[in-house]
């Protein structure tokens, strides 16, 4: 399916408002929407639940219908607003959900997608959301027409569950992306990893950050690092780090967060500020985009993250985009009581040959617990 003609068919069927969180599997469609739909009609949301709420508000404000796009890993985030707001038994808000089906049974995928992929149809059934599976050869016009008619008739959300490789490459020009700083994420990760003490724990966020940290350890021959790779559960990295920091107050815990990730569940920041674990260093690698799934913009460059951190109660707040600044911030954060917050403005982009962890999540967890004496 061609993203541009798919989008036109949606428009022809009265779907002109788009919101969601980008997905690698929907990358080409997301690129097309980002490049061609005016910003009044396209909002990249902080999390998928917020996108369902935005589509609800759009319907209330216009009488028209919105489209919510997401990866199936975001299904958990939409369960509550779906069942308690948009459902036909509550407010009955029609909207079209376009869900990327990572981990579809029979299609090889990463461990964090396997279970979610297997239970996705059952979750939609349990939520009583009617859905149609679509793929490369789908007659998009017929399916969209049918889905839109059903969502109107039932007055509730209806979903399209999208198989891998369903969309062809979007041929149009993508959006020009702002550049955050001179360093790449990989360089920033390496600088931080080398600057902190050996017994510090690193909790790394979902996507390229975890993959790059993993590859850094392999490159350095560090077979038993004290790292936790948050391969799924995007947005919860800082809370995982806080949990370890509270439990091990004499050990420095460094959270390597992303801008998309920190925004997804930003409520964690004032909670960290209030609990004030002295040994927590929360670093946001801010590249202004969801780099790992196709570089769609976040609010990372429009929000003042350092002001948010100060207002949340972090006791040390730094910003930097260069090696010396990172080293100075990490040094101060290590010598002074925190919680500390460091915003690192970086450029987007990753190595073409970036691999994926060869060890399993369970091996990763067991190793960390062994290294910090909890297993
Ligand atoms: C709940 C959920 N929604 C969406 C995704 C898909 N996803 C994986 S990484 C990522 C982008 C992360 O962006 P950011 O935190 O800014 O880090 P970057 O990729 O830019 O390094 C997304 C949207 C996911 N894994 N989980």
State which H helix or E strand residue 16 sits in: strand 15-20
pLDDT tens track for 319-366: 999 999 999 999 999 999 999 999 999 999 999 999 999 999 999 999
| Domain assignment present for 362 | yes
| Domain assignment present for 309 | yes
Whether 205 is in the pocket of ligand 1, judged by its Cβ within 6 Å, is: yes
Q: How confident is the model at residue 160 (pLDDT cuts 50, 70, 90)?
A: very high
Q: Is residue 139 located within the same domain as residue 228?
A: no
| Domain assignment present for 118 | yes
| Domain assignment present for 278 | yes
Three-state secondary-structure class, residue 350: coil
pLDDT of residue 93: 98
Q: Is residue 304 located within the same domain as residue 221?
A: yes
Q: Is residue 237 located within the same domain as residue 133?
A: no
Whether 208 is in the pocket of ligand 1, judged by its Cβ within 6 Å, is: yes
Q: Is residue 134 located within the same domain as residue 24?
A: yes
Q: Is residue 239 located within the same domain as residue 138?
A: no
Which of the residue ranges 1-15, 28-42, 166-180, 210-224 would you say has the lowest mean pLDDT?
166-180
Q: State yes or no: pLDDT of 38 exceeds 90.
A: yes
The alpha carbon of 6 and the centre of ligand 1 are apart by a number of angstroms equal to 24
CA distance 81 to 53: 7
Domain containing 217: what range?
A: 185-371
Whether 67 is in the pocket of ligand 1, judged by its Cβ within 6 Å, is: no
| Domain assignment present for 175 | no
Residue with CA nearest ligand 1 atom 12: 290
pLDDT of residue 29: 96
Q: How confident is the model at residue 179 (pLDDT cuts 50, 70, 90)?
A: confident
Candidates 138, 140, 159; CA nearest to 72 is 159
DSSP readout, 85-154?
A: IISTTTT---EEEEEE-TT-TTS---HHHHHHHHHHHHHHHHTT--EEEE-TT--HHHHHHHHHHHHHHH
Report the nearest atom of ligand 1 relative to the CA of 257: 15
C-beta separation of 346 from 369 below 8 A: no
Q: How confident is the model at residue 43 (pLDDT cuts 50, 70, 90)?
A: very high
Q: State yes or no: pLDDT of 175 exceeds 80.
A: no
pLDDT tens track for 84-133: 999 999 999 999 999 999 999 999 999 999 999 999 999 999 999 999 99
Task: Using a pLDDT cut of 70, give the percent of the chain over it.
Answer: 100
Q: Is residue 130 located within the same domain as residue 225?
A: no
Q: Is residue 259 located within the same domain as residue 145?
A: no
Residue with CA nearest ligand 1 atom 9: 207
Q: Is residue 194 located within the same domain as residue 249?
A: yes
Whether 77 is in the pocket of ligand 1, judged by its Cβ within 6 Å, is: yes
* pTM > 0.85: yes
CA distance 124 to 110: 22
Whether 22 is in the pocket of ligand 1, judged by its Cβ within 6 Å, is: yes
Whether 298 is in the pocket of ligand 1, judged by its Cβ within 6 Å, is: yes
Q: Is residue 265 located within the same domain as residue 336?
A: yes
Q: Is residue 208 located within the same domain as residue 157?
A: no
Q: State yes or no: pLDDT of 177 exceeds 90.
A: no
Q: Is residue 69 located within the same domain as residue 26?
A: yes
| Domain assignment present for 176 | no
| Domain assignment present for 170 | no
Whether 231 is in the pocket of ligand 1, judged by its Cβ within 6 Å, is: no
pLDDT tens track for 137-148: 999 999 999 999
pLDDT of residue 173: 79
Q: What is the mean pLDDT of residues 250-267?
A: 98
| Domain assignment present for 292 | yes
C-beta separation of 212 from 354 below 8 A: yes
Q: How confident is the model at residue 172 (pLDDT cuts 50, 70, 90)?
A: confident
Q: Is residue 158 located within the same domain as residue 245?
A: no
Q: Per the structure, how many domains does the chain have? A: 2
Mean pLDDT of all residues belonging to the chain: 96
Three-state secondary-structure class, residue 202: strand
pLDDT of residue 65: 97
pLDDT tens track for 221-256: 999 999 999 999 999 999 999 999 999 999 999 999
Q: State yes or no: pLDDT of 174 exceeds 90.
A: no
pLDDT of residue 66: 98
Domain containing residue 189: CATH number = 3.40.50.970
Mutate to test the pocket of ligand 1, among 288, 290, 295, 354 (most ligand atoms within 8 A of CB): 290
Which of the residue ranges 72-76, 108-112, 173-177, 309-313 would you say has the lowest mean pLDDT?
173-177
Residues in a beta bridge with 317: 341
């Amino acid at each position: 399916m061609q993203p541009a003609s798919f989008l036109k068919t949606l428009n022809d069927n009265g779907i002109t408002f788009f919101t969601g969180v980008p997905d690698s599997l929907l990358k080409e469609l997301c690129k097309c929407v980002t490049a061609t739909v005016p910003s009044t009609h396209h909002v990249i949301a902080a999390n998928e639940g917020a996108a369902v709420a935005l589509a609800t508000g759009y319907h209330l404000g216009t009488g028209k219908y919105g489209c919510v796009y997401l990866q199936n890993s975001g299904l958990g985030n939409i369960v509550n607003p779906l069942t308690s707001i948009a459902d036909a038994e509550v407010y009955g808000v029609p909207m079209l959900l376009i869900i990327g089906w990572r981990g579809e049974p029979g299609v090889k995928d990463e461990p964090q997608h396997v279970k979610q992929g297997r239970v996705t149809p059952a979750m939609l059934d349990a939520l009583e959301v009617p859905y149609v599976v679509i793929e490369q050869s789908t007659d998009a016009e017929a399916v969209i027409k049918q889905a839109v008619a059903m969502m109107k008739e039932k007055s509730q959300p209806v979903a399209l569950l999208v198989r891998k490789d369903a969309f062809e490459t979007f041929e149009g020009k993508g959006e020009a992306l702002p550049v955050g700083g001179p360093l790449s994420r990989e360089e920033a990760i390496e600088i931080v990893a080398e600057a902190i003490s050996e017994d510090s724990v690193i909790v790394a966020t979902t996507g390229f950050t975890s993959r790059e940290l993993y590859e850094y350890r392999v490159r350095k021959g560090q077979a038993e690092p004290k790292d936790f790779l948050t391969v799924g559960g995007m947005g919860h990295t800082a809370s995982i780090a806080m949990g370890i920091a509270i439990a091990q107050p004499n050990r420095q815990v460094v959270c390597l967060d992303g801008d998309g990730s920190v925004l997804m569940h930003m409520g964690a920041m004032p909670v960290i500020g209030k609990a004030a674990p002295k040994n927590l260093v929360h670093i946001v690698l801010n590249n202004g985009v969801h780099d790992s799934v196709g570089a769609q913009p976040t609010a990372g460059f429009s929000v003042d993250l350092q002001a948010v951190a100060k207002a949340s109660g972090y006791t040390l707040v730094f910003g930097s985009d260069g090696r010396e600044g990172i080293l100075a911030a990490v040094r101060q954060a290590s010598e002074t009581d925190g919680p500390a917050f460091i915003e690192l403005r970086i450029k987007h982009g990753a190595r073409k040959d970036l691999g994926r962890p060869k060890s399993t999540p369970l091996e990763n967890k067991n190793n960390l617990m062994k290294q910090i004496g909890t297993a």
